[in-house]
A and B are shown apart, each in its own frame.
Chain A
């Protein structure tokens, strides 16, 4: 006799998710982005803050010719000198800079031992920015900032939102009233303005940005959790936990919360995307992650000055596209997730 086996909810959801083309594309692109962000130092040709002023605002596909000089302050990041021609005579290297001015340098202060190991003709795939920094390198490092902002800010938002939403939905009454008052106050500010406001209060910087975005975007989560808890607390198993004498916190977080997980997961992918946009907007204003740490918003702002001139539009276009792709795949994934977790919508 064949044994009947049930399928767990998450398995069913996973099956549905795999059938959704948009969601699969989203997952694949997202994984690639995460991988690129993690392996940034190995897949990028330069250091994101290394400036080659002679090569400022070069177009995409520009090929330079440079020599690497040993950096006494930091051995791992060599200094880069742009050259137009070089000649090695004994222990000295004679070179001309791009404007044709002749210079000389001791062979020993350059990188590498074998002849010409210090010389290279690097390709700037996407061109360079105002300070002659490689755009591709900065784009990949900017992805690190964007993804970590999404991750950390969304975790902060989830922690606050779940906690307050659960309390409001479980206890109702005056607890609910006061939490909902707070929710309504915070909700009265457009999210991005609240992020700006908290950034002004906390000051500029890496961690301040994460916190500012996190404490601005918990409201939707709190509302959803509260709504879910309103119906969940009427279920028999919640009554059972009370009969068994479980503590309130145990009931809330061990037994009720997992049953509200679906909408929370869907909402947090959307929140992840919003956090990326918020960080870019902050950097665009000049708050947020500060230079020289590369961030997409800053790069877009840098490029903005060149748009009106009609030149070097790549400086704006490439980071904009990177952000659009990132947010788009997150939304695709989120949509797929919603359909997979909620059978009602997927039947349409």
Chain B
């Protein structure tokens, strides 16, 4: 178990190095100093700016420096606001975390519920309604769902406020949360259904039925438990998509999280800020997935060996 743990963590660190290198190269084409100062800037001030940004050094030194700063938690300064990128991210983390966590919880609960209902009577009308609804959910990108929700529930029906942060009341959380939850929910429902159907075809389910257990006991205790494994993978994998979704959702609902900061940074090509937010999202994703892997290794000895 200890070797498995160490091997896993070492490999994760190796992947993170690659992630940081990729992130380092996220910058607009051309000379960033010139981009910042505008085309009419004289070459002397461009040279000063280059030095300030560390662009005068060879590339591998720049990458190394970026990594060293990173270990100290320094992601550089925003070009647009001149504020520390890591400070901005930490300041905005609670808003994004609230949105992302409530969404994934809702998506998981409802997704599993829908999937189980669909698998309860496969090919019945309940199944087809659930599955076609979830297909629709998969087909709509989060930002379109968000806009349509604003239009329907915010403008036409006036049930919920159009935009704003939750500090003004819990009703501000509902629309962005549901918007963000729809796609993962649809996918979790589909995975749950197919995994349930897989498990229900196994011999031990037949054995349980033959023993005379009620079909509800078989369904919940024997089938659902064993069917949840792929579901957990889906949930942890979809967490990344959800985090990326916050970029758009926070913009649409004017939710002051990391995504909104990133969105504004992209519009201004404020690359240190873009780098910081993208890197942050990737790191969270890697950590969540490694944690999920470790939990598997803990539960299922087979995983440790492979």
Contact = CB atoms under 8 A, between A and B. Distances in A.
B291 interface: no
Contacts of B28: 200-201, 203
Nearest to A332: B135
Interface in A296-348: 300, 303-304, 307-308, 310, 313, 316-317, 320, 323-324, 327-328, 331-332, 335, 345, 348
Contacts of B285: 188-190
Given A189-B278, A190-B241, A281 B141 contact: yes
Nearest to A309: B155
A284 interface: yes
Contacts of A182: 18
Contacts, number: 129
Given A201-B28, A308-B155, A320 B139 contact: no
Given A185-B22, A313-B151, A320 B162 contact: no
B283 to A, nearest CB: 8
B244 A201 contact: no
A193 B155 contact: no
Interface in A120-140: none
Interface residues of A, number: 44
A200 B269 contact: yes
Interface string B129-160: 00000011011110110011011000110000
A286 interface: yes
B266 A200 contact: yes
B252 interface: yes
B125 interface: no
Interface string B241-256: 1011001100010000
Given A188-B19, A201-B27, A203-B29, A285 B244 contact: no
A300 B147 contact: yes
Interface in A266-314: 273, 277, 280-281, 284-287, 300, 303-304, 307-308, 310, 313
Nearest to B16: A188
B219 interface: no
Interface residues on B, range: 35 or more
B197 interface: yes
Interface in B1-48: 14-16, 18-19, 22-23, 25-29
A190 B136 CA distance: 21
Nearest to A344: B198
B282 interface: yes
Contacts of A300: 143-144, 147
Contact of B282 (A189, A287, A327, A348): A189
A200 B274 contact: yes
B263 interface: yes
A285 B263 contact: yes
Interface in A193-219: 193, 196-197, 200-203
A181 interface: yes
Interface in B146-203: 147-148, 150-151, 155-156, 162-163, 194, 197
Nearest to B122: A348
A192 interface: yes
A184 interface: yes
Interface string A134-172: 000000000000000000000000000000000000000
Interface of B: 14-16, 18-19, 22-23, 25-29, 122-123, 135-136, 138-141, 143-144, 147-148, 150-151, 155-156, 162-163, 194, 197, 240-241, 243-244, 247-248, 252, 263, 266-267, 269, 271, 274, 278, 281-282, 285-286
Interface of A: 181-182, 184-186, 188-193, 196-197, 200-203, 273, 277, 280-281, 284-287, 300, 303-304, 307-308, 310, 313, 316-317, 320, 323-324, 327-328, 331-332, 335, 345, 348
